[in-house]
Chains A and B, each alone.
Chain A
């Protein structure tokens, strides 16, 4: 446990040194939703009002820096440079290191965003959205597992960034980051809940509008466990497949 706490302290230390970076990291996720909302507030619609979308987009913006780790790209860097070999032997394993690295980052982002997050939550339409705090770690772990699983592909693929882009596009669309599910056709809304993606971002954003069902927690748990099992299976194969030449 001490070694994971040491990682946390390192991340806190780097975040306090590069404070401008922390500001950039949190500020960026507000850009796209803000511009979409501004554009839509000028546009006209018979079925949707732009001002009903702001709680959703606000939560999506806040969630970006809190629950979406860039672990797949980091894994790619580690495999490309051969640094991943440092984690093949104990005292620290790769999953544990990356999990503590990114969870520390996200905790710091959560603390940085809390002066905005807490006052805003009082103005959200669904006041039980406070319970969303409980499902926040689940969303983070599920996203982390999905991204980690994808990152393991970098042990086999040369042009990993391309697959990483496809993953990002899938998460942006299916996670409801670009547009809420009201924009999509009915068949899409039936299909989407068969995938893990609604439980990454959309789930929490929806709690600002309607309370979440207990069954959703069970489904999120199911996806977390399933992805973790696949990670264990793939990771051992990935490590065996890895080779580093040169120094």
Chain B
């Protein structure tokens, strides 16, 4: 484990060093990243101007929203570059580079982000979250549990995105497959109960939406249904199994002659 922490922090240092070496170019780069952050705020405020969500007050919805922003940009910060480059390496037959290393290939190939622009969005999301949750006076235990569950939600993202990416081993380069889970981002913006209205979304969308709703409920001091907690745990386990199996079987299709 210390090896992986060391690896991650070296990567982060190198990446930040590179970003700061850009000088004035860092300003448009940061702006280009956080413009999406503010687009989400604008879109969400327009929606809650017109619509109300039963049992959720506006201030509670904003807490959920900033949990979403914090979550989304942390997922970008950790994984986006790894997903992008791994997909390219599979297509070009350069994945051997990871196969020969004496470490976990999934970790090495998928966790190699650390850019300044996403870090700024993470800090902004975290700051807005702290401000919006301040009125609810969360207990220290709730904050501790929030971080535990939040970490599990990030792992869930990692498992699912890696499982989807593994299709590239078998089916050749699949355009935008590295970004597919990021396209689900609207799911994390709204209360998970919203996705219980239709039988299909109950099965396919609701478990995913719990990734932000459960941590947000903890911060807000709202009760969490045992069924929801069970679905959340079950879905995390399922995504872990899917991740293990898909990499195991898909990697067999890899040849460095490129796919």
Contacts and interface: CB of A to CB of B under 8 A. Distances in A.
Interface in B162-189: 167, 171-177, 180, 183-187, 189
A28 B191 CA distance: 22
Which size bracket describes the interface of A in this complex? Answer: 35 or more
Contacts of A21: 171-175, 177
A62 B197 CA distance: 24
Contacts of B53: 42-44
Interface string A44-55: 110110100000
A179 interface: yes
Interface stretch (B8-16, B31-39, B128-136): B31-39
A165 B25 contact: no
A238 B76 CA distance: 33
A206 to B, nearest CB: 18
Interface string B42-84: 1100110111111000000000000000000000000000000
| A-side interface mostly | helix
Interface stretch (A83-91, A111-119, A137-145, A154-162): A154-162
The number of chain B residues touching the other chain, given as a range, is: 35 or more
B39 A178 contact: yes
A185 B194 CA distance: 26
Interface string B187-226: 1011101111110010001000000000000000000000
Interface of B: 22, 25, 28-33, 35-36, 39, 42-43, 46-47, 49-54, 117, 167, 171-177, 180, 183-187, 189-191, 193-198, 201, 205
Interface of A: 17-18, 20-21, 24-25, 28, 31-32, 35-36, 38-45, 47-48, 50, 157-159, 161-166, 169, 172-173, 178-179, 183-184
